[in-house]
Amino acid sequence: MKVNDIIKNLEILGTRGDLNRFVSDIQYDSRKIEKDQAFIAIKGYQTDGHRFVSQAYENGARVFFSEEKIDLPEATVVYLKDNRKALPIISRTFFHQPDKKLKIIGITGTNGKTTTAYLTYSILQKAHWKPGLFTTVKYFDGKAWHNSERTTPESLDLFRIFYRMTQAGLKSMVMEVSSHALSLSRVEGVHFLAGVFTNLGRDHLDFHQTQENYFLAKRRLFEGMNESQRAVLNEDDPYSERIKHSSEAEIYTYSLKNPAASVSYVQHQVQKEGLQVKLKIPSGEITIKTKFLGTFNIYNIMAATATGVGLGIPDNFMVEGIESLMRVPGRCEHYPTPDGYSVYIDYAHTPDALQNILHAVWETRPQSLIVVFGAGGDRDRGKRPVMGKAAEDYGDKIILTNDNPRSEDPMAILNDILAGISDKSRVLVIPDRREAIHTGLKMARNKDSVVVAGKGHENYQEIKGIKYPFDDREVLKEFFERRQWIFPAEN
């Protein structure tokens, strides 16, 4: 595509050089630049892309989008006021507006986004909507599954993935939408057929500063929606009422408490292998059997069901879609052991999420509940003692260990958690996460449960700026293999 065509929807401050120059691709990472590709300099929180203009030039870039003056031989420069805000417009134009060819469902909230996304994706599969998927864990572009680097990618990467999905013949797409993405214009211009709100708890206050700012970021997904779009809201969360008043979308609700909601809870049974849930929907009642546990997963199931209702998907496809999903990576993953105790691996890294998974496992009535967890460094410190209190409320034995300490002193993080625990006699502090997990497993006896929380699907541990290979599931697998137990295969 020529530069002239790329900038046709932009408000530009000025240009320099040949605007008929051909651009084969666009990059914001100078290290990825190849000949005939354009470089857009993005000002981030840790570094400024303008510092790498020379490197991009050396790697072959001759077209630049910049907020600062560039004086390089034979360079074509488009000057913009705010490159970050322009990036989604540039990306959408360059990839031929691929979002218009997809029915996109965006899911936002503090907890439950990933599971709700997988459930909704599974429903759309059964309904033959040919869906793609993008979550914190993985994404599917129609040809292959890939590991995700973040919950919602930069707009350039996102539109590139949309384009690949359309090229692969996909017709719909389910994606998580983070508060960071909404604040940083990553999904600006994306047309969502439906937006889903799961809940709002405490998270990311290191970035948003206040809970109100955090909510306002989430609400942006629904602002500007019209009557042709759907807003699917958790009626039991008080923030949903404020979303209703800010959107012109057609509203669908789900509730554990209000029988008048679009999808409402009737009853459930906790069974050995999961839950049996009965829900009321506009066409009547449906019964769903699932491998998932906990009230929080009933909410996730209701969110996906309400989305299906809003999209007009037949009841049987909704039931089949939910029941066919056996596991979500790093989300309440259950591993029974030959010794009669159970192990659960979960991504819970907020107070609400930790309380949810612990309550769910507690409902299975274990003889003793052992909790292994920590908290991330360089993140909201205020949530650490609250997480400690949640662990004490449910755990008979608590092992505090490293999560991703990042640049912080690991012991300082653990002491912050410890401050929220009154009965410290129930606590072991073992900074080495592998040793901590093994200790918890060795402590377990028949009919006990061990919850390993905080990292879930992650396959690394970040310490002092370095990401070391580490996977809670691999540590569990090691433990199984040492005992010559068969490790359950992934579904």
- Segment 244-260 shows an average pLDDT of 96
Q: How does pLDDT run across 335-369, given as a tens digit for each residue? A: 999 999 999 999 999 999 999 999 999 988 999 99
CATH of the domain at 391: 3.90.190.20
Are residues 113 and 246 both part of a single domain?
yes
State the CATH number of the domain containing residue 225: 3.40.1190.10
Residue 132 counted as domain residue? yes
CATH of the domain at 73: 3.40.1390.10
Residue 98: C-alpha distances to residues 103, 164, 221, 338 (Å): 10, 9, 19, 50
487 lies in some domain: no
296 & 430 share domain: no
Under the banding of pLDDT at 50, 70 and 90, the label for residue 400 is very high
Q: Would you say residue 209 has pLDDT above 90?
A: no
The parent domain of residue 29 ranges over: 3-83
The answer on pLDDT for 224 being more than 90 is no
Tokens 């090691």 identify what position? 478
112 lies in the same domain as 49: no
User: Are residues 368 and 277 located together in one domain of the fold?
Assistant: no
Position 88 in a domain: no
Let me know whether 316 and 338 are in one domain.
no
- Per the structure, how many domains does the chain have? 3
- The verdict on 174 and 30 lying in the same domain is no
CA distance 49 to 382: 32
Q: Are residues 318 and 344 in the same domain?
A: no
Query: Do the domain assignments include residue 489?
Result: no
Q: What is the CA radius of gyration of the chain?
A: 24
List, as one string, the DSSP characters of 147-189: E-SSSS--HHHHHHHHHHHHHTT--EEEEE--HHHHHTTTTTT
pLDDT tens-digit profile of 226-247?
999 999 999 999 999 999 999 9
Instruction: Indicate whether 137 and 59 sit together in one domain.
Output: no
